[in-house]
Structure 1
Amino acid sequence: MLQNETNLSITRFQNGELWETDDTIVTEFPITIKLNQEEFATLVCTPEYLEDLVIGFLASEHVIKGYSDIEDLWIEEGRGFAHVTVKNTHLLNDQFRSKRYITSCCGMSRQGFYFVNDALTVKKVGHIKISLTPAECIELMDNLQKEAETFKRTGGVHNAALCDKTGMQLMRMDIGRHNALDKLFGYCVKNSIPTDDKILVFSGRISSEILIKASKMGCSVILSKSAPTELAIELANKLGITTVGFIRNESFNIYTNDWRISDRKEPELS
């Protein structure tokens, strides 16, 4: 089994001096999805929960509607292949059958791919009535940070979790922000776990691609320790998603749909 981390000898500069030490480095691993025996996409990721990653990616990109669409899936880890056989493909046209290389970076590498077919797959979630207090927002982010062991050792991954008001239900990490969400989504698709009643807690920037992926999952609330982009805010307003950023040191900013965040607790049912 591939490891998520490796130890390397490095030279560190600190307190005006150079000295030799060891450091823990996160692993970067390419996995190529072969869809019905044709190369479909290569994802660069952290090599754990690869099956969940593949399922989540295919569901998010509307290649499958559900886990039952997959007839067979097996990971050939040694060669870096995920072999997937599906019953039907819900692709828009033949251009999606050409191989794509999806990098792990957090810039524009995936946006061009996303926006081609997102109009058919995003979900408006303005009707979902989830409510959180400010204290609950801060506590959920604190819990994510406490559990982020690989980040503490390497500083090289993003973390994401699906939560409800009782706490964290599922957590995944990856070198790619989008991969971390796909791993969450894939696990839920595989195990028939609803996501439209969950809160997405996230360590990275809320970009447009992250906002779109959250909407495809049906999540109506995104909590992040970082900032949103202007386009993400625009999309969040259109889709009815509550975005909360800069959750740090007992403070945060609510950028969209602030009606889900209130300092008044819900009344207890008698």
Structure 2
Amino acid sequence: MKFGKVDAIKTYEVLRFKHGTIQEVKQMISEEMPLTVYLNGKEMTTMLCSPVDQKYLVIGFLISEGMVQRIEDIKEMVINEDDGLVNVEADIVEREAAQGYLRRCLTACCGRGRAGFYFANDHKTTRYIDSSAQFTASDILKSTDILLNEASATHHKTNGVHSGAIVKNGELILYSEDIGRHNIFDKLYGKCLEKNMIMDDKMLVFSGRISSEILIKVSKMGIPCVVAKSVPTTLALDLAKDLGITIVASMRRDSFCVYTHPKRIID
């Protein structure tokens, strides 16, 4: 997979204070845009995102939220980048999911006593990952190094975007970046769906931190292992244990920590 393309960047003149002096310099800034999604003529949501891969962002969002069940149900998508509008026509729309988006709903996770899901759609679309896949330590270190040091040209220019990738045998096979960390997972999911990709033998690497919301997105994608640069949150760990997902994080050049379901990680 080739990397290095720089997208969604503008140059601004700024004042920089350094070594006791102020000077005018040019700085590259990551672009951000609002994207309002209409499904069969009804406004569903407005997402703030990088103006890249909007098609996959919308596909991943609609299916992960359960509003549309299959990518085949999406019959037409028209993206108006100038106005920040996306019009989607779908044959089958889950009305209850569309109405329940972001409706708070405290439920127990996987029959456990503690609260796990906080939104109604998450409770209905999140799934347990029953995968026997295993991943080597060398592949984890290799793929993370590629993601953080080679793949994201935009981040190296601006320090202003997150990045993530689907990994198979240590190689990055799908890549996305965005100003919003949640958007990374919807974009990757959209790309996986378009390719009809099998997910239960893949790993996902991510430049940020795994929170409960991110972990839920991983579960909806059917990914058994997620690798992140930073330490996960406590709720993410609780959910990962209950949902059968391996979390690898606290990445360094030659080390990492395995937090949940460690049997998937081998030497």
Separation (CA, whole Å) in 2 of partners of 1:175 and 1:166: 25
Count of residues paired in the alignment: 248
Give per-residue Cα distances to partners, 1:66-120, cap 9 Å, x unaligned.
111112111011111100011111242674489xxxxxxxxxxxxxx96222121
Separation (CA, whole Å) in 2 of partners of 1:173 and 1:157: 6
Q: Is the 8 A contact 2:176 2:187 kept in 1?
A: yes
Instruction: State the Cα distance separating 1:163 from its structure 2 match.
Output: 0.5
Alignment of 1:16-165 (within 5 A): 16-92=20-96, 95-96=99-100, 115-125=119-129, 127-145=130-148, 146-165=150-169
CA RMSD between the two structures: 2.0
Structure 1 match to 2:180: 176
Instruction: State the Cα distance separating 1:166 from its structure 2 match.
Output: 4.4
Give per-residue Cα distances to partners, 1:221-267, cap 9 Å, x unaligned.
0001111000000000001100011111211111111111122xxxx
3-state SS, counterpart of residue 256 of structure 1: coil
Is 10-19 or 142-151 further displaced after alignment? 10-19
Counterpart residue type for residue 173 of structure 1: E
Counterpart residue type for residue 161 of structure 2: V
1:192 aligns with 2:196: yes
3-state SS, counterpart of residue 163 of structure 1: strand
Separation (CA, whole Å) in 2 of partners of 1:165 and 1:211: 22
Q: Is the 8 A contact 2:12 2:29 kept in 1?
A: yes
From 209, 215, 232, give the equivalent of 1:211: 215
Structure 1 match to 2:257: 253
Q: Report the TM-score when normalising by structure 1.
A: 0.87
Separation (CA, whole Å) in 2 of partners of 1:236 and 1:223: 12
Instruction: State the Cα distance separating 1:195 from its structure 2 match.
Output: 2.2
Instruction: State the Cα distance separating 1:180 from its structure 2 match.
Output: 0.9
Q: Which runs of 5+ in 2 are unaligned?
A: 1-6, 103-116
Q: Report the TM-score when normalising by structure 2.
A: 0.88
Closer/same/farther in 2, CA of residues 210 and 91 from structure 1, 3 Å limit: farther
Q: Is the 8 A contact 1:114 1:209 kept in 2?
A: no
Separation (CA, whole Å) in 1 of partners of 2:178 and 2:237: 24
3-state SS, counterpart of residue 266 of structure 2: coil
Separation (CA, whole Å) in 2 of partners of 1:246 and 1:91: 40
